[in-house]
Amino acid sequence: MTAYLDTTNGQPYCKGCGHPHVLDALDHALQAAGVPPHRIALVTDIGCVGLADAQFPTLHTVHSLHGRAAALATGMQLAAGTDGDEPLKPVVLVGDGGSTIGLLHLVHAAQLDVDVTVLVHNNLIYGMTGGQHSGLTPHGFRTTTTPDGCLTPPLDLGRVLAGAGCGYFARARAPSNELGELLAEGIRRPGFACVEALELCPTFAARIGGMTGKGLREMTSEGGLAMGVLERREPRAGPVRRGNGDPAPALFGAGIAPEPTWSRLQRPVQLVVAGRAGERVQSAAKLAAVAGAAAGLGATLRTDNPVTQGRGFSVAELTLSPEAVRYTGLDRPDIAIATAPEGLAQLAQRGLLAGPLAAHRIVCDESLEPPAEAHVERAPLRKRHGGAAAALGAVLEAVDAAGWFDPRAWEVAIQARPEAQRASVRRTLAKAGVSVRAARGRRSCG
């Protein structure tokens, strides 16, 4: 099998660094695991470990933020799902520093048992940033930030992740024959796996801390760090698993499926609704997003409000598209709605009332005073629906008038709401004059 690791231009690491040994083991494991190269994604963290991207020129690589590689890989795996029978297999390369900065991301990935393999390069210190101690630094070990020895005991990553339900955890030294084999087993597992490679950073762990290869061996044999496979469990079946034929997360509840024939859109459309915090502005837009998704549309929602939830403005930006939404930013919206002065001020501040970004259709509650140059339709939104339901009523009316999808999709979105909220939404729907029966003969629009 062809090697993925390409060292024809040399290695970028310091002389004697353990990273090249870990990458050799990774190369062996990727080949042994038999994952098609186009379904492998290496997700690297910040640090010397991140230099691995360029060493694997034939694979997908993503360079992440410090500590966030596991979170990014988890999202990638869940979003990408399968290509035929082939799941995306992200392999996260992270140091001991990134592991402890992003510890909860590792914990969460283990809890989800998502199909991601994490390879921890544990050389006991932060290498690239200057030899500082990390959460995995041994007690008493000298680093640039603990010149008299690290004050705290090291986290045992295996035990931490075992407590989170980790399906596979193994530890080996680098270099060693076991490392590649253990890693291959982790990669083959259709769920979360973590392999910790113990290795040497000659520049800091050896020079400052006095660590040697012999010291590493003693640390694992005498220091209580168990080696080999420490956790091995069956993959959990569950709604979060993607990429092995299990269902996607349920959006609509049991027995309700999206109906793509309900879409009426030929192009992406956008709606902005702005009002007063606490008046369910964002949940109104969310109902439209879920209804759009129920009609088989791509749907995204961006929301904004001040820190508190009950004072000031509340804004929601909805995008619906016949294709998946690749860009969630606001262009020139098709519809902008203001239900309260706080919302009107936000629309003005964002340039959506007048000028080149002005929405094509602007609807304001009749009590508001929009700028004279804005072309606004005024409607008794608050009088008709009450303050708390003005945004919902306005969104229902505007989307129904635009005919973006078959109104039966509203009922699917209502079913996705908690039962206690459904009756009031249906009342608003009736007041808005929206019939959830099939709308016959509607033209495509957008």
Q: Which residues bind ligand SF4 (CB under 6 A)?
A: 13-14, 17, 19, 48, 123, 127-128, 201-204
For every residue of 226-252, DSSP letters joined together read: --EEEEE-PPPP-TT--SSSPPPPPSS
- Provide, rounded to whole angstroms, the least separation between the CB of residue 9 and ligand SF4: 16
Q: Which is nearer to ligand SF4, 123 or 314 (CB)?
A: 123
What is the side-by-side strand order in the sheet with 40-44? Answer: 60-63, 40-44, 89-95, 117-122, 193-198, 168-173, 228-232
- Provide, rounded to whole angstroms, the least separation between the CB of residue 16 and ligand SF4: 7
Q: Which is nearer to ligand SF4, 13 or 405 (CB)?
A: 13
Q: Which is nearer to ligand SF4, 95 or 322 (CB)?
A: 95
Total Cβ atoms within 10 A of residue 444: 12
* 419-431 and 408-415 helices, crossing angle to 10°: 150
Q: What span, in angstroms and rounded, lies between the C-alpha atoms of 361 and 367?
A: 18
Q: Which is nearer to ligand SF4, 40 or 200 (CB)?
A: 200
- Provide, rounded to whole angstroms, the least separation between the CB of residue 10 and ligand SF4: 13
- Provide, rounded to whole angstroms, the least separation between the CB of residue 14 and ligand SF4: 3
Q: Is the Cβ–Cβ distance between 23 and 55 less than 8 Å?
A: yes
Q: Which is nearer to ligand SF4, 192 or 204 (CB)?
A: 204
Q: Which is nearer to ligand SF4, 193 or 201 (CB)?
A: 201
- Provide, rounded to whole angstroms, the least separation between the CB of residue 204 and ligand SF4: 6
Q: What angle do CA 371, 277, 357 make, to 5 degrees?
A: 35
- Provide, rounded to whole angstroms, the least separation between the CB of residue 18 and ligand SF4: 7
**Could you tell me which residues are beta bridge partners of residue 276?**
313
Beta strands at 60-63 and 40-44: parallel, antiparallel or unpaired: parallel
Q: What span, in angstroms and rounded, lies between the C-alpha atoms of 372 and 389?
A: 27
**DSSP SS3 for 40:** strand
Q: Is the Cβ–Cβ distance between 104 and 60 less than 8 Å?
A: no
Q: What angle do CA 128, 132, 134 make, to 5 degrees?
A: 100
Closest CA to 94 of 85, 84, 86, 103: 103
Q: Is the Cβ–Cβ distance between 193 and 41 less than 8 Å?
A: no
Q: Which is nearer to ligand SF4, 48 or 52 (CB)?
A: 48
- Provide, rounded to whole angstroms, the least separation between the CB of residue 20 and ligand SF4: 9
* Residue whose structure tokens are 């099939």: 438
Q: 125: which DSSP letter?
A: B
Q: Which is nearer to ligand SF4, 204 or 405 (CB)?
A: 204
Q: Is the Cβ–Cβ distance between 72 and 54 less than 8 Å?
A: no
- Provide, rounded to whole angstroms, the least separation between the CB of residue 150 and ligand SF4: 17
- Provide, rounded to whole angstroms, the least separation between the CB of residue 13 and ligand SF4: 4
CA 254, 319, 78, 47 torsion-angle sign: negative
Q: Which is nearer to ligand SF4, 13 or 56 (CB)?
A: 13
